[in-house]
Structures are given as C-alpha cells and as structure tokens.
C-alpha cells in the first residue's frame, strides 16, 4: 500500500489541481492525515498552492493545490499509422511543447525511433526544463500492445507488428516507459481532463483511417489479458468480406474507417489529401466531402449499434480526426446508432439513454493520454 504522501502525489498527478477536501475524498484518507501530508509536501516544495476554488456553501473558498511544475516533466509519444507526435508536459498537467510529423504508412521502426529522438531533442531545446528532470515516457500506439512484453500486436500497424515498442524507445531514455493502445490512452485523457470527466463507465469510439476504441469500467481502462480489449474495428461482421489490414476478412474497420472515403476524395480532386483536408472542405460546403463524411457516420453508427448492444454504455466519446467534422459526422452517426442499437431512445427515460459526445482532445487526445500514463504511475511504486 502506498504511503499517504504517495497516494496524494499520485492523485494530484492524475487529476491536476485539487483542494484538501477533494484529496481526502479521492484518496480515502482522513482529513487530518491529508493535512499532515500536505504540510510536508509543501515544505519540500513538491506541492504548491494554485489559488482558491469557490465552495457551494457559505464558507470561505478552499485553497487548491497542484504538484510543483518544477518537479519534473514527462513525455507523451504517439506512434500512429501515418503520424508521429510528441508532447512534453509538467506534473501540473501543463503542456509545454507539442508537435506532430506526418509520414507514409509502412515506415520502419528505425524511422520511428529516429524521428522521436529528433522531436524530443527539439522539444527540450525550446524549454527551460532539461531531460535530466524527466520522470517517464508514455507511448500511445495505433495498435494493441501486449501489456506483458510491450510487443505491438496485429491490427493497426502491420509494419511494426512484433516490435517491442518499450525496448525500441528505451534506447533513448533511462526512465520508466509505459505503452498502450492509442484509444486506451485517449480514454485516460478524456476521463482526466476531457469529455468523460465524472463518468466511471464509458466507451471511446475512434473513427479515423482505422476504427478503434476503449472500454472504461469503474474508472479503469480494460485492456484484456493480451492488450486486445476494445479493438472494435476488428470485430468481424462479414467473414466473406474484403481483407482487413489485420489479416482477417470483413472487419468493421473495412466498412467504417475513412480510408476508403479518403481514397475516393483523392480520386475526385486529383491530389493527395489528409482527413483534415476533407473535413475542412466539407465545413466550407463542398458536397462531395460532406457526402463522404455522412456515409462514414452512417457506417460508423452501424458499428456503434453493435457495440451499444453489447455494453449499453452511459457515454460514448467519439474521437479521431473525423470527429473534427462536428455535426456533419455526429448527426448521421447518432441517427445510425439509434437505428441499429437494441435499446431505442423512446424505450427509456432520458437518464437511461446513451450520450454521444465528441472528444475534447481531437488533435492530441492519444498523446495527452500517453502523458497520463506517466502521471498515473507517478508517486506509486512500479510493478
């Protein structure tokens, strides 16, 4: 069992600024114990006061506290299908640096390691902090990751399948390294800072060049025995269908990802495009792009209906770059979900209906969640 001080540090790492009353409630510690531990943490300058928070009663506002930003930094890395991203944040949850680079799918593990090294060198060159204060590195991977050995499993990144991602990037750092699927990382970001705050049970549904997801139950991300939980995109819905990049046939991802519509858009416009380009043109009124996004929403809703019938979640957070289309995606997605789910809105009262909510972190949710992987381990012994 962690010490009271360790439990407080971990809770502040996970949640950010909190009052002493909130810390007592979240840690289960007595108020007197929290007070004693906070006095020591403030004396050593590990914890600093950030201001006051208005209480609901007539009493004076409570002082909020956070971990001292100077206590160290952590790095979040996204290893995606066509994107690498690095975020540097301090322990108070402030993002100090954030940059992405795009590359062709199928890149090598050596390319990934070299680009990450270059990005991190650039990041710390721009900051007053130094890598000497680095507490850990979190890695969000666009594929399931075996939690035991860190190997990337089949599904999202065929070019990196079998790679021990922790060992690969471990060559660059002498600090703890944590890795997980990008949708699981997105779930951590959403329940820590975003659209799922206050929810103990919810689903993340990712619509991008692939289809992914995460399952959160009791405030914990369910990873499965081999790291494959929440891989909604690789549920086989037609065994005779087209081959998926995972090697199976007829996966949901074949029909609901934006890979096919993006290729159609590129043929229509006669040039290479990204999802963000299609979304930008759709928001500007282009009918072809609006149609492709609506079709993706309808297909995604069919898959979400299947997921909803299995989990019947209180909340679905829709993430991925396609979610930047806003209602152009969310409206057909919600209509299709209603059409194909077992429980209809008219069947239940409003407080028993599944909420569909767009992600707070469209551009950097997975990478922020990778930062969260480090913050969630800060202040507790590593296994």
Residue 282 confidence (pLDDT) above 90: yes
Question: Which stretches of 162-292 are assigned E, i.e. beta strand?
Answer: 177-181, 202-207, 211-217, 220-221
* CA atoms of 278 and 255, how far apart (whole Å): 18
Mean pLDDT for all residues in the chain = 87
Confidence of residue 180 (pLDDT cuts 50, 70, 90): very high
What is the pLDDT, as a whole number, of residue 81? Answer: 85
The pLDDT of 90-113, averaged and rounded, is 88
User: In a 10 Å sphere around its CB, with 0-12 CB exposed, 13-18 middle and 19+ buried, how is residue 242 labelled?
Assistant: exposed
What is the pLDDT, as a whole number, of residue 1? Answer: 38
What is the pLDDT, as a whole number, of residue 129? Answer: 58
What is the pLDDT, as a whole number, of residue 41? Answer: 81
**pTM for this prediction:** 0.80
The backbone torsions φ and ψ at residue 328, rounded to the nearest 5 degrees and listed phi first, read: -60, -30
- Contact (Cβ atoms closer than 8 angstroms) between residue 45 and residue 2: no
Share of the chain above pLDDT 70, in %: 93
What is the pLDDT, as a whole number, of residue 383? Answer: 35
Task: Give the residue with greater pLDDT, 70 vs 81.
Answer: 81
Residue 295 confidence (pLDDT) above 80: yes
Residue 339 confidence (pLDDT) above 70: yes
The pLDDT of 175-189, averaged and rounded, is 91
The pLDDT of 231-256, averaged and rounded, is 93
Taking only the tens place, the pLDDT of each residue in 317-334 is 999 999 999 999 999 999
Residue 382 confidence (pLDDT) above 60: no
What is the pLDDT, as a whole number, of residue 315? Answer: 97
Beta strand 83-90 with 95-102 is: antiparallel
- Contact (Cβ atoms closer than 8 angstroms) between residue 111 and residue 211: no
- 49-58, 169-178, 238-247 — which is least confidently predicted? 49-58
Residue 62 confidence (pLDDT) above 80: no
Confidence of residue 214 (pLDDT cuts 50, 70, 90): very high
Domains of the chain: 4-67 (1.10.10.10), 72-187+365-377 (3.30.420.40), 197-358 (3.30.420.40)
Share of the chain above pLDDT 90, in %: 53
């Amino acid at each position: 069992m962690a010490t009271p001080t360790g439990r407080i540090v971990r809770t502040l790492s996970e949640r950010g600024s909190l009052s002493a009353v909130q810390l007592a409630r979240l840690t289960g510690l007595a108020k007197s114990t929290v007070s004693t531990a906070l006095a020591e943490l403030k004396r050593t300058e590990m914890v600093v006061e950030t201001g006051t928070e208005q209480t609901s009663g007539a009493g004076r506002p409570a002082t909020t506290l956070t971990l001292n930003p100077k206590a160290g930094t952590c790095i979040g890395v996204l290893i995606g299908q066509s994107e690498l991203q690095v975020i540097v944040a301090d322990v108070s949850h402030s993002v100090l640096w954030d940059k992405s680079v795009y590359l062709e799918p199928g890149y090598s593990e050596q390319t990934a390691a070299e680009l990450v090294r270059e990005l991190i060198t650039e990041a710390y060159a721009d900051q007053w902090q130094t890598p000497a204060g680095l507490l850990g590195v979190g890695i969000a991977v666009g594929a399931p990751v075996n939690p035991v050995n860190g190997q990337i499993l089949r599904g999202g990144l065929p070019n990196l399948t079998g790679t021990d991602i922790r060992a690969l990037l471990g060559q660059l750092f002498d600090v703890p390294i944590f890795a997980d699927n990008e949708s699981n990382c997105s779930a951590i970001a959403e329940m820590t800072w975003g659209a799922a705050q206050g929810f103990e049970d919810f689903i993340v549904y990712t619509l991008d060049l692939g289809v992914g997801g995460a399952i959160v139950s009791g405030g914990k991300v369910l990873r499965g025995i081999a790291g494959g939980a929440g891989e909604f995109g690789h549920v086989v819905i037609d065994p005779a269908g087209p081959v998926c990049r995972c090697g199976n046939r007829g996966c949901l991802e074949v029909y609901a990802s934006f890979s096919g519509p993006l290729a159609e858009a590129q043929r229509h416009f006669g040039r290479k495009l990204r999802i963000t380009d299609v979304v930008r043109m759709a928001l500007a009124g282009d009918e072809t792009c609006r149609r492709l996004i609506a079709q993706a929403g309808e297909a995604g809703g069919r898959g979400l209906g299947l997921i909803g019938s299995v989990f019947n979640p209180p909340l679905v957070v829709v993430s991925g770059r396609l979610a930047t289309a806003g209602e152009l995606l969310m409206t057909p997605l919600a209509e299709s979900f209603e059409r194909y789910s077992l429980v209809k809105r008219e069947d239940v009262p409003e407080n028993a209906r599944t909420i569909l909510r767009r992600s707070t972190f469209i551009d950097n949710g997975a990478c922020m969640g990778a930062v969260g992987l480090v913050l969630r381990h800060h202040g507790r012994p590593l296994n």
